[in-house]
Structure 1
Amino acid sequence: MFFDDERSNRLRPEILTELVGQYLNDAERARFLGLPATTRIRARAKIISPEHLRLGEHCWIGEDAVLDASGGLNIGEHTSIGVGALVFTHSSWLANMMLENHPGSDLIERTPVTIGKGCFIGGHAVIMPGVTLGDFVTVQPNSVVAKDVPERCLVAGNPARVFQRYDEDYIKAEAERVRAENARRREITITPWGSPAGDFT
């Protein structure tokens, strides 16, 4: 039933790791995968070639996200990767065109991706190989980022383009607004911390 070849034997530990990971909570899964202790990684998220992933502290990786680190992937601290987001560091298009799309093909191209600190990658966004996102970048859901993005920008679309640039004063004002609203909500509810959910109009 099981193949006993080099590729199968190399992939089997990854399959078993993924299976065991489904029975762990976010923090346990992160520790099991050798990620920083402050990482939260949701169920069904997948990391390809985790040995090539460099991940900062306090990162969050959503359900069904796929992080392809085979070409090298660096993610800064306090960055979130949304539900179902895809980060690619390799492409096999040339292997397909040359009819050489087989395991170990020398036509697979790998280029690293860098995602800065304090970034938010929305759900189902796609980051293409070779892209660098600066610090504090927001990628709106369902966007396809195919070129570098400077720091403190909001990008959206396919292909993604810059829609807004943030300055530090804007971010601080927004943080104050949200903290004040959450403090107001905590006075109404019994939630001792965080962001209370519900209708507070």
Structure 2
Amino acid sequence: MFSDDERSNRLRAGIVNDFVGGFLNDVERARFLGLPETTRIRERTKIVSPENLVMGEHCWIGENTVLDASGGLEIGDHTSIGLNCLVFTHSSWLANMTLENYSGSDLIERKPVKIGKGCFIGGNSVIMMGVTIGDCATVSPLSVVTKDVPAYSLVSGNPARVFQRYDQEHIKAEAERVRAENAARRAAAQARGEAPVWGSPAVRRDGQ
């Protein structure tokens, strides 16, 4: 039933890791995969060639995301990648076009992807091989990123393009706004005698 060759045995190790990872929570799964203790990896995330993945601290990877690190993949500190995302570092296009799409084909092209620190990659987005995403960049959900993304910018669309640029002052102002809103929600919950679980329960329609 099982093939006893180098490729089969190598792939089987990944299959076993995926199976075992299905029984772990997000922190346990990251630890099991040898990633930083502060990393959280949600269920059904697949990492291709994990030995080529460099992951920073305090990263979050959503459900059903595929991280292809076969060509080299670096993800900076405090970066989140949403659910159902695809990050590619290789392509078999030429192997397909030349009818040479066999295992080990020398027409498989690989280029590294680098995602900076403090980035937010929205759900259902695709990052193509060879792309560099600068620090504190935002990729809107459902985007296809085919070119480098400048730091402190928001990109969206297919292919993704820059829609907004921001700076530290903008981020600071937005952080203060959200902290104030969450503090108000916590205060409202406490006034109702509730214990906020996530720190920011919604305000009721009556404003209480």
Q: Do both share a fold (TM > 0.5)?
A: yes
Asked whether the 8 Å contact 1:186–1:193 carries over to 2, the reply is no
SS at match of 1:163: strand
Written as runs of structure 1 = structure 2, the 5 A alignment for 1:92-131 is: 92-131=92-131
Which residue is 1:3 aligned to?
A: 3
Which residue is 1:72 aligned to?
A: 72
Which residue is 1:150 aligned to?
A: 150
CA shift for structure 1 position 168: 1.1
Asked whether the 8 Å contact 1:52–1:71 carries over to 2, the reply is yes
Asked whether the 8 Å contact 1:55–1:76 carries over to 2, the reply is yes
SS at match of 1:17: helix
Partners in 2 of 1:150 and 1:67 — Cα distance?
A: 21
CA shift for structure 1 position 2: 1.6
CA shift for structure 1 position 90: 0.3
Render the CA deviation track for 1:69-123: whole Å, top value 9, x for unaligned: 0000011000000000110000000000011111111100010000000000000
Partners in 2 of 1:3 and 1:53 — Cα distance?
A: 27
CA shift for structure 1 position 51: 0.4
RMSD: 1.2
CA shift for structure 1 position 193: 7.0
Asked whether the 8 Å contact 1:21–1:43 carries over to 2, the reply is yes
* TM-score, scaled relative to structure 1: 0.97
CA shift for structure 1 position 40: 0.4
Asked whether the 8 Å contact 2:74–2:114 carries over to 1, the reply is yes
Task: Name the amino acid aligned to 1:63.
Answer: E
Unaligned runs of 5+ in 2: none
> Which structure has the larger Rg over C-alpha atoms?
2
Which residue is 2:187 aligned to?
A: 187
1:34 lines up with 2:38 in the alignment: no
Asked whether the 8 Å contact 1:145–1:159 carries over to 2, the reply is yes
Asked whether the 8 Å contact 2:89–2:110 carries over to 1, the reply is yes
Task: Name the amino acid aligned to 1:155.
Answer: V
SS at match of 1:63: coil
Task: Name the amino acid aligned to 1:133.
Answer: I
Task: Name the amino acid aligned to 1:117.
Answer: K
1:198 lines up with 2:199 in the alignment: no
Number of corresponding residues: 201
Which residue is 1:85 aligned to?
A: 85
* TM-score, scaled relative to structure 2: 0.93
Task: Name the amino acid aligned to 1:48.
Answer: V
Asked whether the 8 Å contact 1:185–1:200 carries over to 2, the reply is no
Partners in 2 of 1:64 and 1:102 — Cα distance?
A: 26
CA shift for structure 1 position 3: 1.9
Unaligned runs of 5+ in 1: none
